[in-house]
Amino acid sequence: MLLLASASQRRTELLDLMGIKHKVVDQKFDEDSVIETDPVLCSKLIVEGKNISARALLSPTDKNCPVLTADTLVFTPSRKIVGKPENYEHSRELLREFSGATHSVFSTVMISTTEQSMLRTCETKVSFKNMTKEEIEEYVLSEEGVGKAGAYGIHGPAGKYVTNIEGSYTNVVGLPVHETYEILKELNIL
C-alpha cells in the first residue's frame, strides 16, 4: 500500500486513475520555511521536508509502507516562485501576470521506502491568452483558483484561457504521472 502524504484531491484522483492503491496520511512540514529562490531546488526541499515529516508521523502499522510526497509551484514570468494565492488581490495579480504570457509549473514527486528514496522534478510551460479585466475578475470571484498553485486549476474553467502547454499536463494538475510511475517501477513498488 502506497501512503500519500498530501491532502490534494487532484493527487488522489491521479493515483486512482493510475490504478495505484493508496491511502492518505498526515505530514506537518511548514512549506514557508523554505526560502530558496531556485524553483527546482525549492520544490525538492519542500518535498523532502514533507516526506521526512510524514515518515515521522506514521503509525507502527504503516512504518514499512512507501511514502509519496509531492509539491507543485509556479514560476511567474517575472521570475518569482508562487504557491497558493494569499487572497483575491494576489490571485488578480497572478492572473494579470500570466495573461498573454508563458510561465513554468514545477512539480517534484518523492517516494521513500525504509531503505531508499527517489525524487524527480518535472517542468511544464503554460501559456495564457490575453485575458480581459472582466475574465480575470469573473475567474477570481468564482473561487475556483482558491487553494491552487498559481491561483488557477488547469483541469477546471481556467483551461479555457490556456493557449499552449509544453510538457506534462498532469504536472500542472499536481502530480506528474509519468515520473511517479517511473519511480514506483524503479523502487519495485509496482
- Annotated catalytic sites, by residue? 71
Single-letter amino acid code for the residue at 115:
E
* Strand 22-24 to 2-4 pairing: parallel
Residue pair 28/69 in contact by the 8 Å Cβ criterion: no
In this structure, what is the dihedral angle of CA atoms 139, 81, 120, 49, given to the nearest 10 degrees? -110
DSSP H helical ranges for the chain: 9-18, 39-57, 88-98, 133-142, 169-173, 177-186
